[in-house]
Structure 1
């Protein structure tokens, strides 16, 4: 039932009765003592309200919030770089380079401010227009309320006010949860990270500090127990083969591996660049060598298919993961898996170096699907992973602790920077991190060691 119909039903028409006797029949004459209900005015209010809803959307408000958050994070990054510059005592050897970087960052801040000012001016005009419409609606509704003879609207308002006050009390009594809910997968809210559950060197010992490992998130029949391992054997940047083991035990012991080569040489066209990669549907997804493209390597046919990201996508160390103490080289693109498939995480100059999420359709050749832009500056992040459509980002706290500090929900487009979920590290750096939806574990490659951590959900 529509609100207009409900409103009409709540109106009690004031009637006066007069009786007369005509022969043996009693006849009642009904006279309406109230003026007719102005239905056209109510329809006009409904139409105006719908126009306001269409004009002021949550997406527009999210865009404004995203610009503000991005500006805050960028200013914070500049402040940190200035502190580093002030501490440098290299007799101006590298000071000029650092100063130039700060100049570029300030220019990007100015671009953000220009965009924010332009958006704010547009919203200010929209606010004035909407305020006038709301005032007209208010005057009309005051007149319409006079037809409410039983004071139903007044009682409803009083009840609604009580509920609002009660809600405020509950909010004050109960602190907001620390993470974005992942309830649509049935997991509940992520509250902590336990472990490590596994902590071991690979068969390569400490020879290769950059690499990746894990399981196929969507394995072919018969491949459910397999584990894969890739080490970047050329300058800690490039790789050209995937090593597979039949079980976790054989991987830890280094027994009976099967090597599948993308190319006989390294590096070359369509070989692996950077440590961020995932296995899904018997195919490896990774950053193609020396391009801004996604590579899909079919493990059975040994064929490579590609799909290009936007032309202004950072690659070759333009927007890598980093922190003040180090840069994780050639990590411009990060590939993640969750319950719904494969995503690629990257940054573009048009989005001011902030993180972008794109869903990868795992057909052959792969196709980019829905894309989300965030306010998270990529160079302030050390890694990302996805759980139930929610992106989580980590940062370096110290040699013993990594922190999950950020989340972006692709369903609600809600961003949060206030997560404080700690990961206990065994080595200083985490070069690779990915979530496996089959066992709810984080698979980590950390300075030549392989580890797993368990995600704890409430």
Structure 2
């Protein structure tokens, strides 16, 4: 069996709000593009590297051409203004010309009868000369305008040379051909992405602060099973004594505080470790080990089932407490519950659940104490445990359900606001959603992936 190995580092969809995002985050739909290469055997290697942008919109050459065209347009407008002004001045000069002709006739009269008309005509001549006095600055302005027009012509000539050089550098490819090449490359890259198998966590970067709201403890999430056009956000403040779920149509609406709907759950929740999966909310019913499945579409509970032997009501919480006994989460492989039992001596149990019936499909007993763990999350069937309640937080333990083995790790997490009460992985966004001391944050993850090739047996 052969396989290619690649480190995949997807970027968080906030840059945004440039929520980059913006400091207000304004996420953009369809945010990923890809770069690609092939090895000598023609097998695909691909890496996610940047958020998607309009085709060629930030290409250096396109940007330079656009700036030059804008400059030429501004110059054309200036020349048009100059042309209007010179036409106005031309009318004024025509008027002065008639006055000059009148002066010539006066000179002839003076020449023919110097004695009788000299004084009278001299006074008239003086008056005409005074009227012509404003003509002098007009002529000076004409000289200035002529110089300016010459400068415009020279600059436009230089710009034309630059444009010609850029066209020669680009070569014979026209825009349509370049566009087809890009579209073809995108198709090949998406085929590469479809071959990605589950990856191993290598690095966590961030966080990006999306919003500051609510109490110190809470949860916010999107649905990893939703379509790319569905970016609804659900918000659940506090770890107990609450049953109000707030819904927002998008992350930008969430940042702006524009609610689209409010749900009043039939039961209070316990903890902050809820998850939305395929249109339903899964949460731990207060003072019980019952898991409730609540459908947002129907607005009612569709399933509820006790998680057998699971501790509850702060019997086996995470280190920070908060009735975090049962942690529900989802990854690429499905729906999971993380909890502890007396039978496993208070150590963590990992159970994979059927999303419809909430029945346990399979379970793994670890040897790690639930009370000694901070927040945890699942990626590709591997549980990653943190000490996220500490300032120097990190992922320091993982348990693979595929191999039933554990591993000690040392992957730092920047605990920016000093207390993490919720940390969950979203497989669609390939990001970690966190509630950090009243701040809703996002972390980017770097995964080590295996790309399966078509010739594997």
Cα offset for 1:397? 7.3
Specify every segment of 5 or more residues in structure 1 that has no aligned partner in the other structure, as ranges: 1-183, 264-269
> 2:374, 2:389 within 8 Å by CA — same for their partners in 1?
no
Query: Aligned with 1:374: secondary structure?
Result: strand
> 2:337, 2:352 within 8 Å by CA — same for their partners in 1?
yes
**What is the aligned counterpart of 2:281 among 255, 279, 284?**
284
> 1:385, 1:392 within 8 Å by CA — same for their partners in 2?
yes
Specify every segment of 5 or more residues in structure 2 that has no aligned partner in the other structure, as ranges: 1-194, 449-457
> 1:321, 1:380 within 8 Å by CA — same for their partners in 2?
yes
Query: Aligned with 2:387: secondary structure?
Result: strand
Cα offset for 1:222? 8.2
**What is the aligned counterpart of 2:396 among 376, 394, 405?**
405
Query: Aligned with 2:409: secondary structure?
Result: coil
Other-structure match for 2:292: 295
Q: CA RMSD in A?
A: 1.9
Cα offset for 1:214? 1.3
1:385 is the counterpart of 2:377: yes
- C-alpha distance in structure 1 between counterparts of 2:420 and 2:388, whole Å: 9
Cα offset for 1:256? 3.2
Cα offset for 1:199? 4.0
- C-alpha distance in structure 2 between counterparts of 1:334 and 1:366, whole Å: 14
| Distance change in 2, residues 1:217/1:397 (3 Å) | closer
**What is the aligned counterpart of 1:415 among 406, 410, 416?**
406
Other-structure match for 1:307: 305
Determine which structure has more spread, i.e. the larger CA radius of gyration. Answer: 2
- C-alpha distance in structure 2 between counterparts of 1:198 and 1:396, whole Å: 16
**What is the aligned counterpart of 2:220 among 197, 213, 220?**
213
Q: TM-score, normalised by structure 2?
A: 0.53
> 2:389, 2:418 within 8 Å by CA — same for their partners in 1?
no
Cα offset for 1:302? 2.0
> 1:328, 1:431 within 8 Å by CA — same for their partners in 2?
no
Deviates more, 1:252-261 or 1:440-449: 252-261
- C-alpha distance in structure 2 between counterparts of 1:328 and 1:397, whole Å: 10
Other-structure match for 2:341: 348
Other-structure match for 1:75: none
RCO (CA 8 Å, sep 6+): is it higher in 1 or 2? Answer: 2
> How many residues are treated as equivalent by the alignment?
254
> 2:390, 2:415 within 8 Å by CA — same for their partners in 1?
no
**What is the aligned counterpart of 2:255 among 243, 252, 257?**
252
- C-alpha distance in structure 1 between counterparts of 2:371 and 2:362, whole Å: 23
Other-structure match for 1:52: none
Other-structure match for 2:155: none
- C-alpha distance in structure 1 between counterparts of 2:351 and 2:234, whole Å: 24
Other-structure match for 2:201: 190
| Distance change in 2, residues 1:414/1:450 (3 Å) | same
- C-alpha distance in structure 1 between counterparts of 2:385 and 2:359, whole Å: 24
Per-residue deviation, residues 185-212 of structure 1 (Å, max 9, x unmatched):
625432110111334203x4xxx11110
- C-alpha distance in structure 2 between counterparts of 1:397 and 1:449, whole Å: 14
